[in-house]
Amino acid sequence: MPYGNIITGMGKFNLAVIINIIRLVTFLISIYIFISPGMLNLGAIGLAANQLVLNLTRNSLFLYFANKLGEVHLKSNNNIRHIIIICWTFLTYFISIYLKKFILLWWLIMIPIYLITLYLILHLTGFMKKEHWRLLLDTLNIKKTLKYAYNEIKE
């Protein structure tokens, strides 16, 4: 929504209308595909998938037009880091669904594998700097973490 606010804040209300018309068309097409008995026939899952498609469409359009207006820098390192984390999280989720069928305590295996591989990927791509490693090691310091949790509960 902040990107939508950029568009409307610049007085581009006609652009906001065009985005909403595109969302309406996307809604009609995706609801038919996800819900229709002749298509995917997903029922309530189809409604959730439809909502996901609508949100992605709206956000993508806001980002695209805000970038065209020159008010947003989409190719910043922080955004790329977030995209890497999101993609790796989705991939790990699908891998864990497969492992769940064969390994009893799959989640005990997936948690460290996810964290180790995520930080390794971020390190290899250059998005994990010394300051990030220091913060991670501070988080893994059990004494500091327990002291922090105790102080938060105490307050």
pLDDT tens profile 22-52: 999 999 999 999 998 888 888 888 898 899 8
Identify whether residues 64 and 81 lie together within a single domain.
Answer: no
Q: How far is residue 29's CA from residue 23's CA, in Å, rounded to a whole number?
A: 10
Average pLDDT across the chain, whole number: 84
pTM score, two decimals?
A: 0.52
Identify whether residues 96 and 62 lie together within a single domain.
Answer: no
Identify whether residues 144 and 82 lie together within a single domain.
Answer: yes
Number of independent structural domains in the chain = 2
Q: Kindly state the average pLDDT of the residues 119-130.
A: 87
Asked if residue 65 lies in contact with residue 19, where contact means CB atoms within 8 angstroms, the answer is: yes
3-state SS string over 62-131? Answer: HHHHHHHCCCCCCCCHHHHHHHHHHHHHHHHHHHHHHHHCCCCCHHHHHHHHHHHHHHHHHHHCCCCCHH
DSSP one-letter code for 39? T
Q: How far is residue 83's CA from residue 88's CA, in Å, rounded to a whole number?
A: 8
Range of the structural domain that residue 88 is part of: 77-154
Identify whether residues 88 and 138 lie together within a single domain.
Answer: yes
Model confidence at 5: pLDDT above 80: no
Identify whether residues 58 and 119 lie together within a single domain.
Answer: no
Residue among 133, 130, 9 at smallest CA distance from 62:
9
Domain-ending residue, one of 31, 48, 68: 68
Identify whether residues 88 and 136 lie together within a single domain.
Answer: yes
Identify whether residues 23 and 44 lie together within a single domain.
Answer: yes
Identify whether residues 55 and 101 lie together within a single domain.
Answer: no
Model confidence at 8: pLDDT above 80: no
Asked if residue 57 lies in contact with residue 23, where contact means CB atoms within 8 angstroms, the answer is: yes
Q: Angle at the Cα of 97 (from 96 to 102), degrees rounded to 5?
A: 85
Domain-ending residue, one of 42, 68, 94: 68
Residue among 117, 113, 121, 110 at smallest CA distance from 81:
121
